[in-house]
A and B are shown apart, each in its own frame.
Chain A
Amino acid sequence: MIQEIVSGLSIGCIYAMTGFGFVLIYNAVGAVNFAYGEIVMFGGYFGYLAIQSFGWSLGLAFLFSILAMAGLGIFNDYFAYFPMRHRPVVTVIIASIGLSILLRNSALAIWGPDPVKIKSFVGDQLVHIGNVVFPLHQLLIFIVTAFIFVGQVFFFSRTSIGRKLEATAQDQEMAKLMGIKVNRMILLTFVLAACLASIAGFLLAPLWFLEPDVGLYIIVKAFIAIVIGGFGSVYGLMAGGLFLGVTEVLVASHLTSEYKDVISFLILVTVLIVLPQGFFGEKVAEKV
């Protein structure tokens, strides 16, 4: 039981991390980015590419993935956001759906439909605490997630660039008047989110396999985490992710494994009906 909860929490951390990158972009441009799941997936695949095709070590592959993902973030901005920045939000949302199809099928064409795996930075070691046994990788996930979530508080409140990003997210017009180069900040947000996706991808790949459909799966789960927590609330997102991860594992092992995803979706629908602002969120239901 405790083992199940630990593994649920570790999956939940990945949902929360994916959700965080997604919310970064959402806050900056005001539109949901349906391609973000595929971007996380590419974070993992770039690592796989460096290890498998270039024969690089895991650390080098990680660096390569971060750089390549920065490029993908720039591509995302210039291709699927920047040309449409003055158009209705709907246009940007649909463009992101197009980008997600593009990325998913590029992965299919490059790496094929078979699932692949990358090794964890900590190998396959197991941790024994009392009579609970779990992989060391799950502990790594907790540490990295905690680091990112604490780090972002510092980044957005203490550093100059973080504050500029925050200002852009809050009010683009006002930020522009304060002399902030808004377009550059948005570009930076896309890059930042893509690099974050690289980390999420590297943590995800040893846990599940990488396959072209994994992006769709992870983005849907991140959505549910975000909706449970409430759009805009980082703590809510964390709680939502962990709640979803644990619920999924417990439902799968004690109730039904076939209908586990149906139950996740029902949670989403229920929260949208009963509490559209989520458990922690500000009231943003009117925001389109």
Chain B
Amino acid sequence: MGFTKRQMIVTLICFAAAVVLPIFFRGSRYYMNLFNLAGIFIILTFSLNYIHGYLGLISIGQAGFFAIGAYITAGLTMGLGINYFPALLLASIAAALAGVLLGLPASRIGGHYFVLITLAFGEIVRLIILNWKEVTHGTNGVNNIPPPRLGPLLIESRFAYYYLVLFFIIVTMVVAASVRRSKYGRSMLATKVGELAANVMGINPLSTKLINFGISSFFAGLAGGLYASYIGSISPEAFDVDLSVDILTMTLVGGSGTIPGPVIGATALVFLKEWLRAVKEYYMIIYGAGIVLIMIFMPYGIMGLLRRVRDVISSREVR
């Protein structure tokens, strides 16, 4: 299964649009901020897309990996003076290791037990960050995290940061697409549909799941590292369960298990949450109700809706 010509063209147009887009908004710090946040959330949503889209499991602990990536990146650059990019890579690897480590027990259980163990993981990470004051400064957080430096180039402005994030989004998407097409991706989908059947076909569920968790948490950590240096200061309340629920919502709204899904879902929700801010305390109420309504009316997200529209149109053409 290769790319069709149409998919290629659409992908190229989207990337071209993404490259040109900030030029029109260069003067608006507000919109550039939203774009950058959306970009970071896109990477974060891809991380859950592996677990939910490819394995069919629900994780509400992604914030834990995000926090690990953010704090380790901050620690390595500020404490040890390591350059940003190697630090980012090391932090992502650390998050990936945490994912594999959590995966060892978690891969043996499914359903609601998996939800609970990931919830517990996310909370453990947050509580350790909150209470281990000597290292993480507790509620005060880590402040004045330096911006990334690439040789003589200091990536400080929101405009420059946009292209850094865009670069990592492309990396994330290329990896996601190649995993999906690889032997491992097919093994994951087989495990999702029927674990026993997959097992009988010679797929090792343990290694399949561990690879999945490893890649997933790697990208969550990467997003965390990008977030830390972009915002410049991190504190434990940014990494609570609400964040993990946000990521889950973004995955579902976009359409889980697809490549465009996380991009659509994360972007849509970052903007939606921003616009709903106008109604202050009611916005989280609307947000909660929205999750339920999405589950009722479009359980396969925007991508599922588009696919259904396309099917209707193409079935008309045949007639």
Q: Which residues of A contact B (CB under 8 A)?
A: 31-32, 79-80, 83-84, 87, 89-95, 97-106, 108-109, 216, 220, 223, 227, 258-259, 261-262, 265-266, 268-269, 272-273, 276, 285-288
| Cross-chain contact B288 with A102 (CB below 8 angstroms) | yes
Provided the pairs A80-B292, A84-B295 are in contact, do residues A97 and B245 lie with their beta carbons within 8 angstroms?
A: yes
Question: Knowing A98-B290, A265-B124, A288-B110 touch, does A223 contact B116 (C-beta < 8 A)?
Answer: yes
Contacting pair B119 A101 (CB below 8 A): no
Q: 1/0 contact trace for B278-296 toward A, CB 8 Å?
A: 0001101101111110111
| Chain B residues with CB under 8 A of A266 | 124
Q: Which of B110, B124, B296 contacts A286 (CB 8 A)?
A: B110
- Chain A residues, CB < 8 A from B119: 220, 223
The answer, yes or no, to whether B105 is at the interface (CB within 8 Å) is: yes
Known contacts A109-B281, A258-B131; A288 and B295 CB within 8 A of each other: no
- Which 3 A-B residue pairings sit nearest by Cβ, starting from the closest? A98-B291, A102-B288, A101-B288
Query: Per a CB cutoff under 8 Å, which of B58, B108, B124, B281 touches A105?
Result: B281
Contacts of B117 in A (CB 8 A): 268-269, 272
Please report whether the interface of chain B is mostly helix, strand, loop or mixed according to DSSP: helix
A99–B115 Cα gap in the complex (Å)? 17
| A269 x B58 contact (CB < 8 A) | no
Residue among A83, A84, A261 making CB contact with B123, cutoff 8 Å = A261
Q: Which residue of chain A lies nearest to B291 when distances are taken between CB atoms in the complex?
A: A98
Which of A32, A98, A265 meets B289, CB within 8 Å?
A: A98
* B105 pairs with A105, CB closer than 8 A: no
Instruction: Give a binary string over B127-169; 1 marks a CB under 8 Å from any A CB, 0 the rest.
Output: 1100100000000000000000000000000000000000000
Q: Return chain B residues, CB-CB under 8 Å to A105.
A: 281-282, 284-285, 287-288
Partner of A261 from the list B127, B245, B252 (CB cut-off 8 Å) is: B127
Q: Which of A95, A104, A108, A227 contacts B292 (CB 8 A)?
A: A95
Given contacts A32-B115, A262-B124, A285-B109, contact A95 B281 (CB under 8 A): no
Query: How near does chain A come to B99, taking the closest CB pair, in angstroms?
Result: 15
Task: Collect the chain A residues with CB atoms within 8 Å of residue B112's CB.
Answer: 31-32, 93, 288
With A93-B112, A109-B282 known, 13 other A-B pairs at CB within 8 A are A32-B112, A80-B292, A97-B245, A101-B245, A101-B284, A101-B285, A102-B288, A106-B285, A108-B281, A109-B285, A223-B116, A261-B127, A287-B111
Residues of A within 8 A of B123 (CB): 220, 261, 265
Task: Decide: A99 near B110, CB < 8 A? Known: A109-B282, A268-B117.
Answer: no
Using Cβ atoms and an 8 Å threshold, which residues of chain B touch A287? 111
Q: In the bound complex, how far is the Cα of B169 from the Cα of A35, in angstroms?
A: 34
Taking a contact as CB atoms under 8 Å apart, the answer to whether A95 and B295 are in contact is yes
Whether a CB of chain A sits under 8 angstroms from the CB of B25 is: no
Question: A79 to chain B: closest CB distance in Å?
Answer: 6
- Enumerate 13 A-B pairs (CB-CB under 8 Å) in ascending A order: A32-B115, A84-B296, A93-B112, A97-B245, A99-B292, A101-B245, A101-B291, A216-B241, A261-B127, A265-B124, A276-B108, A286-B110, A288-B112
Please name all residues of chain B whose beta carbon is closer than 8 Å to the beta carbon of A216 when the two chains form the complex. Answer: 241
Q: In residues 55-87 of chain B, which contact A (Cβ within 8 Å)?
A: 56, 58, 60
| B44 is an interface residue with CB less than 8 A from chain A | no
Across chains A and B, the number of contacting residue pairs, with CB separation under 8 Å, is 117
| Residue B299 at the chain A interface, CB threshold 8 Å | yes
Closest beta carbon of chain A to B256's beta carbon, Å: 10
How far apart are the CA atoms of A100 and B115 in the complex, in Å?
15
Q: Say how far A34's CB is from chain B's closest CB, in angstroms.
A: 8
B120 touches A99 (CB 8 A): no
**Partner of A262 from B108, B128, B288 at Cβ < 8 Å:** B128
A285 contact set on B, CB distance < 8 A: 109-110, 113
Q: How far is the CA of A160 from the CA of B184 in the complex (A)?
A: 53
The CA of A223 and the CA of B116, in the complex, are separated in Å by 8
Given contacts A91-B295, A102-B285, contact A276 B58 (CB under 8 A): no
Kindly state the separation between the CA atoms of A287 and B247 in the bound complex, as whole angstroms. Answer: 26
B258, chain A: closest CB distance, angstroms: 16
A259 to B116, CA, bound (A): 19
Shortest distance in angstroms between A236's beta carbon and chain B's nearest beta carbon?
A: 15
With a 10 A CB-CB cut-off, give which of B127, B242, B294 has the most chain A CB atoms.
B127
**Which one of A105, A109, A288 has the greatest number of beta carbons of chain B within 10 Å?**
A105
- What is the minimal beta-carbon distance from A288 to any residue of chain B, in angstroms? 4
Q: Is the CB of B241 within 8 A of A227?
A: no
Q: In chain A, what residue has the closest Cβ to B245?
A: A97
Q: Is B248 an interface residue (CB 8 A)?
A: yes
| Cα-based distance from A91 to B295 in the complex (angstroms) | 6
CA distance A282 to B245 in the complex (A): 31
Q: Are A276 and B113 touching (Cβ within 8 A)?
A: yes
Residue of A nearest to B122 (CB): A265
Instruction: Report A-chain residues with C-beta under 8 Å of the C-beta of B294.
Output: 98
Smallest Cβ distance from B130 to chain A, in angstroms? Answer: 8
Is A101 touching B287 in the complex (CB atoms < 8 A)? yes
Chain B positions within 8 Å of A103 at CB level? 288
Give Cα distance in the complex from A266 to B125, angstroms: 11
Which B residues touch A288, using CB under 8 A? 110-112
Interface centre among A80, A98, A259, A265 (most CB of B within 10 A): A98
